[in-house]
């Protein structure tokens, strides 16, 4: 069976200031050499289908070494309702943050 996750990918300049000018060529390169990436997102980095890309973290760290001027921003949305996250990859390193749902406190002035 397996656990499925929807992935999206964006490629930005290393300082996170703008989209990388070679974004689509870099995504094409990743998809060409990584079967799970090719199944996970399309040529623009948008979700193509949910996938079982269990090694995404290690593989994205390794791939990011080939493009040290690029910041890779990957979103994941897993099968379970509380499994959503974002991961940043830069020159072989990773930062991951899990998503959080936050609600406003009760405010009686907002009652309608």
Parse the chain into domains and list their residue ranges.
5-101
Full-model pTM: 0.88
Q: Name the residue among 35, 44, 49, 43 with its Cα closest to residue 7.
A: 49
The one-digit pLDDT tens for each residue of the chain (112 residues) are 689 999 999 999 999 999 999 999 999 999 999 999 999 999 999 999 899 999 999 999 999 999 999 999 999 999 888 899 999 999 999 999 999 999 999 999 999 9
Angle at 31 between CA 52 and CA 57, to 5 degrees: 50
CA atoms within 13 A on the CB side of 31: 20
Residue 76, judged by CB atoms within 10 A of its CB (0-12, 13-18, 19+), counts as buried
Confirm if 65 and 91 have CB atoms less than 8 A apart.
Answer: yes
């Amino acid at each position: 069976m397996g656990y499925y996750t929807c992935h999206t990918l964006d490629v930005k300049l290393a300082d996170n200031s703008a989209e990388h000018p070679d974004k689509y060529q870099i995504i094409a390169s990743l998809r060409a050499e990584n079967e799970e990436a090719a199944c996970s997102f399309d040529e623009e980095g948008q979700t193509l289908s949910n996938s079982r890309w269990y090694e995404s973290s290690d593989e994205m760290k390794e791939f990011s070494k080939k493009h040290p001027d690029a910041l890779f921003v990957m979103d994941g949305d897993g099968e379970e309702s509380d499994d959503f996250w974002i991961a940043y990859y830069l020159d072989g390193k990773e930062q991951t943050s899990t998503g959080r749902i936050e609600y406003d406190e009760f405010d009686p002035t907002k009652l309608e």
